[in-house]
Chains A and B, each alone.
Chain A
Amino acid sequence: MAFSNEQLTRYSRHIILKEFGIKGQKKLSRGSVLIVGAGGLGSPAALYLAAAGVGRIGIVDADDVDLSNLQRQIIHGTDDIGRPKADSARAGMLAVNPETEVRAVRAFLNAGNIMDIIRDYDFIIDGTDNFPAKFLINDACVLSGKAFSHAGILRFSGQLTTYVPGRGACYRCIFKEPPPPEAVPTCRQAGVIGALAGVVGSLQAMEAVKYLAGIGEVLAGALLTYDALTTAFRKIALPRRDDCAVCGAHPSITAPVDYAQAACDLTA
């Protein structure tokens, strides 16, 4: 596949990087990323990945755009209020880069549909806002041997890790199972600064770019934490759990599991 002159111009700041070059750009254009959640994390991730020239992007969200989303969900505009987030996000990506193939999926992921939905993608980005979804994505990616980026944000802090099959801990190695509903604060109860979601979602996009282009080292086997108030980033090495219920030597989880959704998360 050869790039047109217009494409060479569009991606010139990538191509000029010697570690990336035409080769990296070709890999991106042949690559695919599924972004789950067109929200605070998913918005910047989707915009950067579309702009970067990722060949195919899927965006999953079952909700509609709400006025309270706009403080941080920068892929949506005021005119999009009431519109399905997946459609609004798709339009946002195509506006940035009409060459990207974008599939909008207006659905909640569950144990019954997740394996089919993630099958067609090289890399998954978890931009969800609740623990049942985060565990579901982890388990489905581990079971299907897919790399994915986990991230979570709360108040002024964020964390992320990248799971790559065979290369270190999964999300369930760290947190064995979802906490009971209401046991730990959620964004909706606790609040979040929009730019924090931007920082962490952009880090997720960077992980996807590195993974697809095969450059650098992805954040496997480590948890990166970011404290916005003190501007402190820390990279914590993660042990793997040999007895992890999904990625361990003798897994007890062999198919995706639905956990009860915390009521407070339903309309986040």
Chain B
Amino acid sequence: MTLTVAGTPKEYPDGINLTRLIELEKVETPMYVTVALNDAFVESGGFEAAVLKDGDTVEFLYFMGGGR
């Protein structure tokens, strides 16, 4: 199935959930990433249950604390 992750469409195994996608994408701080799935936030407790389907769009939003 095709997912658009961080703006780029790519092929992924059918039926993976957000937890697996986070592993496949090697997200650096998986505990603290904010995930938007098709323009809605998914709570971190809901990653396991969020089974992805063809055409889904996923964004990872990362904490960036610097500024000085």
Residues of A within 8 A of B (CB): 37, 39-42, 69, 73, 126-131, 134, 151-154, 157-159, 173-175, 179, 183-184, 186-187, 190, 192, 197, 223, 234, 236-239, 241, 265, 268
Residues of B within 8 A of A234 (CB): 6-7
Q: How far is the CB of B56 from chain A (nearest CB, A)?
A: 15
Q: How far is the CA of A158 from the CA of B31 in the complex (A)?
A: 20
Q: How far is the CB of B6 from chain A (nearest CB, A)?
A: 7
Residues of A within 8 A of B31 (CB): 183
The 5 closest A-B pairs by CB, nearest first: A152-B64, A39-B68, A187-B66, A129-B68, A153-B66
Q: Please give me the residue from chain A that is nearest to B32 by CB atom.
A: A179
Contact in complex: B32, A128 (CB < 8 Å): no
Q: Please give me the residue from chain B that is nearest to A240 by CB atom.
A: B41
Contact in complex: A236, B66 (CB < 8 Å): no
Residues of A within 8 A of B65 (CB): 129-131, 134, 152, 154, 184, 186-187, 265
Interface members, chain B 27-60 (any A CB < 8 Å):
29, 31-32, 34, 36, 39-41, 59
Residues of B within 8 A of A (CB): 6-7, 29, 31-32, 34, 36, 39-41, 59, 61-68
Task: Indicate the member of B41, B59, B65, B67 with the most A CB atoms within 10 Å.
Answer: B67
Q: Can you offer 29 A-B residue contacts whose CB atoms are under 8 A?
A: A39-B68, A40-B66, A40-B68, A41-B67, A41-B68, A73-B68, A127-B68, A128-B67, A129-B66, A129-B68, A131-B63, A131-B65, A134-B65, A152-B63, A152-B64, A152-B66, A153-B64, A154-B65, A159-B61, A159-B64, A173-B41, A174-B41, A174-B61, A179-B32, A179-B63, A183-B32, A187-B66, A234-B6, A234-B7
Chain A binding surface SS class: mixed
Contact in complex: B34, A174 (CB < 8 Å): yes
With A40-B67, A129-B67, A241-B41 already in contact, 13 other A-B pairs whose C-beta atoms are closer than 8 Å? A37-B67, A39-B67, A127-B67, A129-B66, A154-B65, A157-B64, A158-B64, A173-B41, A175-B34, A175-B63, A179-B29, A187-B66, A236-B7
Residues of A within 8 A of B32 (CB): 179, 183-184
Query: Do A153 and B61 form a contact, CB below 8 Å, given A183-B32, A237-B39?
Result: no
Residues of A within 8 A of B61 (CB): 159, 174-175, 223, 236
Task: Indicate the member of B6, B31, B41 with the most A CB atoms within 10 Å.
Answer: B41
Q: How far is the CA of A181 from the CA of B5 in the complex (A)?
A: 28
Contact in complex: A154, B39 (CB < 8 Å): no
Contact in complex: A186, B40 (CB < 8 Å): no
Residues of A within 8 A of B36 (CB): 236, 238-239
Query: Do A151 and B67 form a contact, CB below 8 Å, given A184-B29, A236-B61, A239-B41?
Result: yes
